[in-house]
């Protein structure tokens, strides 16, 4: 079997996993939620913890659940991600697969938030400190659930509600949100959500 990664953070994550049950998600679903790049960089850096539920090699299939050592992620491919597996070269048994690979949802959610913030900071006209993309998605869900907004002020209310739900401080003011909505393409986006007439 490959040697476990010796990093202190990974050893600590392994120890904590014995005592605290955590929600997990299959890597194929994680890639759909977070995108391929944030997922791969997250697991390879140790920011997202992964586990496997079996080992498949020349000797057959072993059922067991354990955390994925950081060193195993280096050759992870898109095909592996879709199949929820990892190709591993076992010391004694040769090539094989860690199967049923999942990642911890908490680490995945943090990676998604970080990726959104980075994307938002690269867009012209968007302050880097606020997750405008997340706010837009929240308002679109509000629109889908409740129907068109009657006024632009109600769109601002929806965006403001999103920021209050995810931030404890440094909330954008209503004026900041209003100014952001005056810029293109945000103005055209908001007009699609407002009831015509």
Please state the pTM of the whole predicted model. 0.50
CA dist., res. 193 & res. 189, Å (int): 7
Q: At 150, give phi and psi (nearest 5°).
A: -80, -30
pLDDT recorded at residue 186 = 84
pLDDT recorded at residue 13 = 64
129 to each of 87, 88, 126, 187, how far by Cα in Å? 39, 40, 9, 20
| Partners of 55 in the β-ladder | 62, 98
pLDDT recorded at residue 120 = 65
Structure tokens at 130: 């606020």
Residues 6+ apart with CB under 8 A from 40: 73, 76, 81
User: Which DSSP string corresponds to the chain?
Assistant: -PPPP--HHHHHHHHHHTTS---EEEHHHHHHHH-HHHHHHHHHHTSS-EEEEEEEETTEEEEEEEEPPGGGGGG--HHHHHHTEEEEEETTTEEEEEES-EEEHHHHHHHHHHHHHHHHHHSTTS-TTS-HHHHHHHHHHHHHHH--BSSHHHHHHHHHHHHHHH-SS-PPPHHHHHHHHHSTTHHHHHHHHBPP-
Domain boundaries, the chain: 8-106, 125-193
What is the dihedral sign for C-alpha 164, 167, 168, 173? negative
10-residue averages of pLDDT along the chain (197 residues): 57 58 84 84 88 84 84 87 87 80 89 76 56 87 88 89 80 85 84 76
pLDDT recorded at residue 175 = 85
Asked whether 82 and 73 are in contact (CB, 8 A), the reply is: no
């Amino acid at each position: 079997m490959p040697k476990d990664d010796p990093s202190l953070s990974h050893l600590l994550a392994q120890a904590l996993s014995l005592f605290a049950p955590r929600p997990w998600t299959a890597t194929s679903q994680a890639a759909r939620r977070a995108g391929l790049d944030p997922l791969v960089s997250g697991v390879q850096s140790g920011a997202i913890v992964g586990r496997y539920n079996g080992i498949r090699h020349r000797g057959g299939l072993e059922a067991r659940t354990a955390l994925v050592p950081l060193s195993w992620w280096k050759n992870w491919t898109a095909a592996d991600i879709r199949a929820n597996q990892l190709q591993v070269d076992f010391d004694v048994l040769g090539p094989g697969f860690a199967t049923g690979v999942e990642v911890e949802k908490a680490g995945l959610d943090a990676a998604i938030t970080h990726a959104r913030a980075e994307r938002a900071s690269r867009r012209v006209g968007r302050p880097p400190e606020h997750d405008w993309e997340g706010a837009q998605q929240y308002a679109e869900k509000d629109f889908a659930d409740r129907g068109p907004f009657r006024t632009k002020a109600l769109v601002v209310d929806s965006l403001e509600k999103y920021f209050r739900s995810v931030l404890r401080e440094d909330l954008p003011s209503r004026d900041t949100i209003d100014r952001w909505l005056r810029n293109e393409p945000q103005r055209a986006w908001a007009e699609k959500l407002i009831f015509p007439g």
